[in-house]
Structure 1
Amino acid sequence: MTRPSQDYDQAMAWYLKAANQGDAGAQNNIGDIYEKGAGVSKDDVKAAQWYLKAANQGDALAQNSLGLMYFEGRGVKQDKIKSQEWYSKSCDNGYQPSCDAYKIPNKDGN
Protein backbone atom coordinates (compact mmCIF):
# COMPACT_ATOMS: atom_id res chain seq x y z
CA MET A 1 0.00 0.00 0.00
CA THR A 2 1.26 3.47 -0.90
CA ARG A 3 1.74 5.96 1.91
CA PRO A 4 -0.38 9.12 1.58
CA SER A 5 2.73 11.33 1.60
CA GLN A 6 4.00 9.48 -1.45
CA ASP A 7 0.69 10.17 -3.17
CA TYR A 8 1.10 13.88 -2.41
CA ASP A 9 4.68 13.77 -3.67
CA GLN A 10 3.62 12.11 -6.89
CA ALA A 11 0.68 14.49 -7.38
CA MET A 12 2.94 17.50 -6.78
CA ALA A 13 5.49 16.17 -9.27
CA TRP A 14 2.82 15.86 -11.97
CA TYR A 15 1.27 19.22 -11.15
CA LEU A 16 4.69 20.89 -11.29
CA LYS A 17 5.43 19.31 -14.65
CA ALA A 18 2.14 20.62 -16.07
CA ALA A 19 2.40 23.99 -14.29
CA ASN A 20 5.88 24.62 -15.64
CA GLN A 21 4.46 24.05 -19.12
CA GLY A 22 1.91 26.80 -18.46
CA ASP A 23 -1.12 24.76 -17.40
CA ALA A 24 -3.28 27.19 -15.39
CA GLY A 25 -5.31 24.42 -13.75
CA ALA A 26 -2.16 22.77 -12.43
CA GLN A 27 -0.86 26.13 -11.22
CA ASN A 28 -4.11 26.68 -9.35
CA ASN A 29 -3.92 23.20 -7.83
CA ILE A 30 -0.38 23.85 -6.59
CA GLY A 31 -1.68 27.06 -5.01
CA ASP A 32 -4.37 25.00 -3.26
CA ILE A 33 -1.77 22.49 -2.04
CA TYR A 34 0.37 25.23 -0.49
CA GLU A 35 -2.63 27.08 0.95
CA LYS A 36 -3.93 23.93 2.64
CA GLY A 37 -0.57 22.40 3.50
CA ALA A 38 -1.55 19.13 1.80
CA GLY A 39 1.62 17.04 1.79
CA VAL A 40 3.79 20.18 2.02
CA SER A 41 4.38 22.83 4.65
CA LYS A 42 1.55 25.37 4.56
CA ASP A 43 2.87 28.45 2.78
CA ASP A 44 0.50 31.29 1.89
CA VAL A 45 3.22 33.21 0.04
CA LYS A 46 3.88 30.29 -2.32
CA ALA A 47 0.14 29.72 -2.64
CA ALA A 48 -0.39 33.34 -3.71
CA GLN A 49 2.49 33.11 -6.21
CA TRP A 50 0.99 30.04 -7.87
CA TYR A 51 -2.52 31.48 -7.81
CA LEU A 52 -1.18 34.61 -9.51
CA LYS A 53 0.35 32.57 -12.35
CA ALA A 54 -2.97 30.83 -12.96
CA ALA A 55 -5.06 33.97 -12.41
CA ASN A 56 -3.06 35.88 -15.01
CA GLN A 57 -4.08 33.20 -17.51
CA GLY A 58 -7.76 33.71 -16.71
CA ASP A 59 -8.33 30.80 -14.31
CA ALA A 60 -11.47 31.85 -12.44
CA LEU A 61 -10.81 29.66 -9.39
CA ALA A 62 -7.31 31.07 -8.99
CA GLN A 63 -8.66 34.60 -9.41
CA ASN A 64 -11.17 33.91 -6.64
CA SER A 65 -8.52 32.45 -4.35
CA LEU A 66 -6.22 35.39 -4.97
CA GLY A 67 -9.08 37.78 -4.26
CA LEU A 68 -9.61 36.10 -0.90
CA MET A 69 -5.91 36.18 -0.07
CA TYR A 70 -5.76 39.91 -0.79
CA PHE A 71 -8.96 40.45 1.21
CA GLU A 72 -7.54 38.61 4.24
CA GLY A 73 -3.90 39.63 3.77
CA ARG A 74 -2.63 36.05 3.61
CA GLY A 75 0.54 35.56 1.58
CA VAL A 76 0.22 39.08 0.21
CA LYS A 77 -0.18 42.51 1.74
CA GLN A 78 -3.84 43.11 2.51
CA ASP A 79 -5.36 45.19 -0.26
CA LYS A 80 -9.13 45.46 -0.60
CA ILE A 81 -8.86 47.14 -4.00
CA LYS A 82 -6.79 44.30 -5.46
CA SER A 83 -9.16 41.86 -3.80
CA GLN A 84 -12.07 43.48 -5.61
CA GLU A 85 -10.20 43.47 -8.91
CA TRP A 86 -9.54 39.72 -8.68
CA TYR A 87 -13.09 38.92 -7.55
CA SER A 88 -14.39 40.99 -10.47
CA LYS A 89 -12.20 39.13 -12.99
CA SER A 90 -13.27 35.78 -11.56
CA CYS A 91 -16.92 36.84 -11.69
CA ASP A 92 -16.47 37.96 -15.30
CA ASN A 93 -15.09 34.49 -16.00
CA GLY A 94 -18.29 32.92 -14.71
CA TYR A 95 -17.43 31.93 -11.13
CA GLN A 96 -20.56 32.87 -9.15
CA PRO A 97 -19.00 32.75 -5.65
CA SER A 98 -16.68 35.56 -6.76
CA CYS A 99 -19.67 37.60 -7.88
CA ASP A 100 -21.13 37.14 -4.40
CA ALA A 101 -17.82 37.97 -2.69
CA TYR A 102 -17.43 41.04 -4.87
CA LYS A 103 -20.69 42.44 -3.50
CA ILE A 104 -19.81 41.99 0.20
CA PRO A 105 -17.01 44.59 0.52
CA ASN A 106 -18.91 46.98 -1.75
CA LYS A 107 -21.80 47.13 0.73
CA ASP A 108 -19.47 48.84 3.21
CA GLY A 109 -18.01 51.08 0.56
CA ASN A 110 -14.59 49.51 1.10
Structure 2
Amino acid sequence: MRLRQISLGLTLALSIASQAHADNGQTAYDKGDYVGALAYWQPLADKGDAASQDGLGSLYALGKGVPQDYAQAIAWFAKAAGQGLPKAQFHIGFAYLRGDGVTRDRSIAIGWFRKAAAQGYQPAQSILDQMN
Protein backbone atom coordinates (compact mmCIF):
# COMPACT_ATOMS: atom_id res chain seq x y z
CA MET A 1 0.00 0.00 0.00
CA ARG A 2 2.79 2.41 0.91
CA LEU A 3 4.59 1.66 -2.36
CA ARG A 4 1.42 2.42 -4.31
CA GLN A 5 1.10 5.81 -2.54
CA ILE A 6 4.72 6.64 -3.32
CA SER A 7 4.21 5.63 -6.94
CA LEU A 8 1.06 7.74 -7.20
CA GLY A 9 2.86 10.68 -5.60
CA LEU A 10 5.78 10.36 -8.01
CA THR A 11 3.44 10.16 -10.99
CA LEU A 12 1.62 13.27 -9.83
CA ALA A 13 4.89 15.13 -9.24
CA LEU A 14 6.17 14.26 -12.72
CA SER A 15 2.86 15.33 -14.22
CA ILE A 16 3.06 18.67 -12.44
CA ALA A 17 6.68 19.10 -13.52
CA SER A 18 5.74 18.35 -17.11
CA GLN A 19 2.91 20.87 -16.94
CA ALA A 20 5.29 23.46 -15.51
CA HIS A 21 7.58 23.02 -18.51
CA ALA A 22 4.63 23.22 -20.89
CA ASP A 23 3.59 26.42 -19.09
CA ASN A 24 7.14 27.75 -19.59
CA GLY A 25 6.67 27.11 -23.29
CA GLN A 26 3.39 29.03 -23.27
CA THR A 27 5.03 31.91 -21.41
CA ALA A 28 7.80 32.05 -24.01
CA TYR A 29 5.22 31.90 -26.81
CA ASP A 30 3.17 34.70 -25.27
CA LYS A 31 6.31 36.86 -25.10
CA GLY A 32 7.04 36.24 -28.77
CA ASP A 33 9.99 33.95 -27.99
CA TYR A 34 8.97 31.23 -30.42
CA VAL A 35 12.38 29.56 -30.49
CA GLY A 36 12.24 29.38 -26.68
CA ALA A 37 8.72 27.92 -26.84
CA LEU A 38 9.96 25.32 -29.31
CA ALA A 39 12.83 24.41 -26.98
CA TYR A 40 10.44 23.85 -24.08
CA TRP A 41 7.71 22.08 -26.01
CA GLN A 42 9.62 19.78 -28.36
CA PRO A 43 10.99 17.31 -25.78
CA LEU A 44 7.67 17.22 -23.92
CA ALA A 45 5.70 16.75 -27.14
CA ASP A 46 8.00 13.90 -28.13
CA LYS A 47 7.16 12.25 -24.78
CA GLY A 48 3.43 12.61 -25.42
CA ASP A 49 2.47 15.81 -23.55
CA ALA A 50 -0.75 16.95 -25.26
CA ALA A 51 -0.43 20.65 -24.40
CA SER A 52 3.10 20.72 -25.81
CA GLN A 53 1.98 18.86 -28.94
CA ASP A 54 -0.74 21.46 -29.45
CA GLY A 55 1.81 24.22 -28.90
CA LEU A 56 4.10 22.77 -31.57
CA GLY A 57 1.13 22.52 -33.89
CA SER A 58 0.51 26.22 -33.39
CA LEU A 59 4.14 27.07 -34.12
CA TYR A 60 4.05 25.12 -37.39
CA ALA A 61 0.61 26.40 -38.40
CA LEU A 62 1.68 30.02 -37.97
CA GLY A 63 5.33 29.65 -38.99
CA LYS A 64 6.57 31.01 -35.68
CA GLY A 65 10.12 29.90 -34.83
CA VAL A 66 9.88 27.22 -37.53
CA PRO A 67 9.04 27.28 -41.22
CA GLN A 68 5.27 27.25 -41.74
CA ASP A 69 4.26 23.65 -42.37
CA TYR A 70 0.59 22.75 -42.23
CA ALA A 71 1.30 19.02 -42.50
CA GLN A 72 3.45 19.18 -39.35
CA ALA A 73 0.84 21.34 -37.64
CA ILE A 74 -1.93 18.84 -38.37
CA ALA A 75 0.24 15.93 -37.25
CA TRP A 76 0.93 17.58 -33.87
CA PHE A 77 -2.67 18.76 -33.43
CA ALA A 78 -3.89 15.23 -34.20
CA LYS A 79 -1.66 13.71 -31.52
CA ALA A 80 -2.98 16.14 -28.92
CA ALA A 81 -6.59 15.86 -30.10
CA GLY A 82 -6.31 12.08 -29.93
CA GLN A 83 -5.58 12.48 -26.23
CA GLY A 84 -8.77 14.50 -25.87
CA LEU A 85 -7.28 18.01 -25.62
CA PRO A 86 -10.15 20.31 -26.62
CA LYS A 87 -7.90 23.15 -27.77
CA ALA A 88 -6.23 20.78 -30.26
CA GLN A 89 -9.62 19.49 -31.40
CA PHE A 90 -10.59 23.09 -32.06
CA HIS A 91 -7.37 23.68 -34.00
CA ILE A 92 -8.01 20.67 -36.22
CA GLY A 93 -11.58 21.82 -36.77
CA PHE A 94 -10.31 25.24 -37.77
CA ALA A 95 -7.83 23.67 -40.20
CA TYR A 96 -10.67 21.75 -41.86
CA LEU A 97 -12.82 24.85 -41.96
CA ARG A 98 -10.10 26.83 -43.75
CA GLY A 99 -8.42 24.00 -45.67
CA ASP A 100 -5.04 24.51 -44.00
CA GLY A 101 -3.04 21.33 -44.61
CA VAL A 102 -6.17 19.25 -45.18
CA THR A 103 -8.96 19.21 -47.71
CA ARG A 104 -11.49 21.84 -46.73
CA ASP A 105 -14.49 20.06 -45.21
CA ARG A 106 -17.12 21.89 -43.20
CA SER A 107 -18.69 18.67 -41.87
CA ILE A 108 -15.42 17.37 -40.46
CA ALA A 109 -14.70 20.81 -38.99
CA ILE A 110 -18.07 20.81 -37.23
CA GLY A 111 -17.38 17.34 -35.84
CA TRP A 112 -14.12 18.52 -34.28
CA PHE A 113 -15.70 21.71 -32.96
CA ARG A 114 -18.45 19.64 -31.35
CA LYS A 115 -15.91 17.40 -29.61
CA ALA A 116 -14.15 20.45 -28.17
CA ALA A 117 -17.41 22.20 -27.25
CA ALA A 118 -18.65 19.07 -25.47
CA GLN A 119 -15.69 19.49 -23.11
CA GLY A 120 -16.61 23.11 -22.41
CA TYR A 121 -14.10 24.73 -24.76
CA GLN A 122 -15.86 28.05 -25.35
CA PRO A 123 -14.13 29.09 -28.60
CA ALA A 124 -15.46 25.91 -30.20
CA GLN A 125 -18.98 26.63 -29.01
CA SER A 126 -18.70 30.20 -30.27
CA ILE A 127 -17.68 29.13 -33.76
CA LEU A 128 -20.47 26.55 -33.83
CA ASP A 129 -22.95 29.27 -32.92
CA GLN A 130 -21.60 31.46 -35.72
CA MET A 131 -21.81 28.61 -38.23
CA ASN A 132 -25.50 27.98 -37.58
Indicate the TM-score class for this superposition, using the shorter chain for normalisation: 0.7 to 0.9
Aligned residues of 2:34 and 2:59 also touching (Cα < 8 A): no
The percent of aligned pairs where both chains have the same amino acid is: 36
Deviating runs (4+, > 2 A) in structure 1?
7-11
Pairing partner for 1:28 from 54, 61, 65? 54
Give ranges in structure 2 of 5+ residues lacking alignment. Answer: 1-32
Tell me, yes or no, if structure 1 residue 58 matches structure 2 residue 84.
yes
Q: How does 1:1-110 map to 2 (within 5 A)?
A: 8-105=34-131, 107=132
Give ranges in structure 1 of 5+ residues lacking alignment. Answer: 1-6
Higher relative contact order (CA 8 A, sep 6+): 1
* RMSD of aligned residue pairs (Cα, Å): 1.4
How many residue pairs end up in the alignment? Answer: 100
What's the TM-score once normalised by structure 1's chain length?
0.83
What's the TM-score once normalised by structure 2's chain length?
0.70
- Equivalent-residue separation in structure 2 for 1:10 and 1:100 (angstroms): 31
Max Rg structure = 2
- Equivalent-residue separation in structure 2 for 1:54 and 1:30 (angstroms): 10
